[in-house]
Amino acid sequence: MIDASTETQLSEAQSLMASFAARTGLAPERSLPTRYLWTDAFAVCNFLALARAHLQQRNLYLELAGRLVRQVHRRLGYYREGDVHQGPLSALPVWEADQQPTVGGLRIGNPRPERRAGERFDPQNEAERDGQYFHYLTKWMHALNQMGTQTGDPIYHRWARELACTAHSAFARDAAAGRMFWKMSVDLERPLVASMSRTMAQHDPLDALITYCQLQSSPSGGGPDLRGEIHDAAGMCAGATWAIDDALGIGDLLINAGRVAQIAAPDAVSALNTIDAADRLDVIDAIQPGQLLEELLESARAGLSRFAGSDALAQPPDRRTASGELELAIGLAALPVVARSRPPGCGDKPARVDRLAPYQSMRSKIVGFWRGVRARRDAAQQDVDAVMLATALVPDGFVVLR
């Protein structure tokens, strides 16, 4: 059941996704659609949520989700037009790349080409340049995993695992030193940005650990075993703290808390006889769910306390960031999922979310505000805002794993 699925919210989410599909060349389909990996990962999950909510239109929304996956792989899994390189990022023949579309990673989809080797680094322009972001790739791994779970097609699970291996070998090549690169070149050969702020940089290993465990606790689809990657990510996370006080970072913590709670729940894989029991035990041992869940919730609570004490939500639209605030709203929607869970290490009681109860009203406040703000001038930002608002309205496609 979709959380807070009033008819009005559901109808609005449908409208937002229909407009997004038309603007970006998804429906009706264009030969050169506009694709952006972060936005498209949320969009896939939104179509899955709508398929679950509208059984009469289930096939339509599943078709849109599948079409979006194919477009992303054919656009962002290939070099951009005008690049000195052409064809699949994996350098495989096209027919083979179609079978393994994620083994070369996926471009961000930014409007400007990546910074050339030797070109001066300009932080202001770098945000508009192409390349590969690890935290975008993990969002896409999650979307593929959700596709495999909802459709029952194991190919999506294989693609997600193959992407995890590719991303890990590139971004975590310095894992022994406990750090990951923030942004890589399109061909994954050179770092474009070594790291961002200390707090943001340490969230990539956390995202890696939880995403790899999510994939490992799902059917493999014939994809690679991720125990080595999980071991590396767990090592990078050892002793780390997750304190952060911006909306996007807090939202990520809450979303990850929801995933940890579901991955480790006793009934998480009981219906999936394709999962090896040893894999599940390895995953639980790697994430130490009781401890990690409490750490994530406490870090989120501390961040929410500081965020609520600021005047961030009292600012006019042009001084606020929709995507960050909506990520927080989506994270708050994951708290009921955490409350229902009883992962190992938490005893017989549900994971404690009572300390975050005073901040639950923030979700409706954020969603209500951005529902009232019309389209942004920038087309790419308009797509991000619209899709993430739809996720906040119908969050189950994104936050519920099974």
pLDDT of residue 354: 87
Question: 62 and 107 in one domain?
Answer: no
Which range of 88-92, 120-124, 374-378 scores highest in mean pLDDT? It is 88-92
pLDDT of residue 345: 56
CA atoms within 13 A on the CB side of 76: 30
Each residue's pLDDT tens digit, 136-185: 999 999 999 999 999 999 999 999 999 999 999 999 988 777 789 999 99
Assigned domain for 271 exists: yes
Q: What is the mean pLDDT of the chain?
A: 89
Question: 249 and 176 in one domain?
Answer: no
Model confidence at 271, pLDDT cuts 50, 70, 90, reads very low
Residues 6+ apart with CB under 8 A from 307: 245, 246, 247, 250, 328
Structural domain range at position 270: 1-75+241-402
pLDDT of residue 2: 44
Question: 169 and 71 in one domain?
Answer: no
Of 3-17, 79-93, 137-151, 319-333, minimum mean pLDDT range = 3-17
Question: 398 and 275 in one domain?
Answer: yes
Assigned domain for 122 exists: no
Measure the CA–CA gap between 362 and 300, rounded to whole angstroms: 13
Assigned domain for 97 exists: no
Assigned domain for 182 exists: yes
Of 21-25, 253-257, 309-313, 346-350, minimum mean pLDDT range = 346-350
Question: 345 and 385 in one domain?
Answer: yes
Question: 164 and 259 in one domain?
Answer: no
pLDDT of residue 350: 52
134-151 and 58-75 helices, crossing angle to 10°? 150
Q: What are the tokens at 128? A: 């508009």
Whole-structure pTM value: 0.93
Look at residue 189 and give its three-state secondary structure. coil
Phi, psi of 210 (to 5 degrees): -70, -40
Question: 136 and 166 in one domain?
Answer: yes
Question: 389 and 306 in one domain?
Answer: yes
Question: 296 and 182 in one domain?
Answer: no
Q: CA angle, corner 13, sides to 9 and 14, nearest 5?
A: 120
Question: 138 and 61 in one domain?
Answer: no
pLDDT of residue 201: 54
Model confidence at 61, pLDDT cuts 50, 70, 90, reads very high
Assigned domain for 86 exists: no
* Total number of domains in the chain: 2
pLDDT of residue 1: 43
Question: 344 and 249 in one domain?
Answer: yes
Residues 6+ apart with CB under 8 A from 139: 37, 38, 41, 42
Each residue's pLDDT tens digit, 213-248: 999 999 999 999 999 999 999 999 888 889 898 999
Phi, psi of 101 (to 5 degrees): -75, -10
Residue type, 279: D
Question: 143 and 171 in one domain?
Answer: yes
Model confidence at 279, pLDDT cuts 50, 70, 90, reads low
pLDDT at 270 over 60: no
Model confidence at 3, pLDDT cuts 50, 70, 90, reads very low
Q: Among 179, 206, 236, where does a domain finish?
A: 236
Give the DSSP letter of residue 182. Answer: S
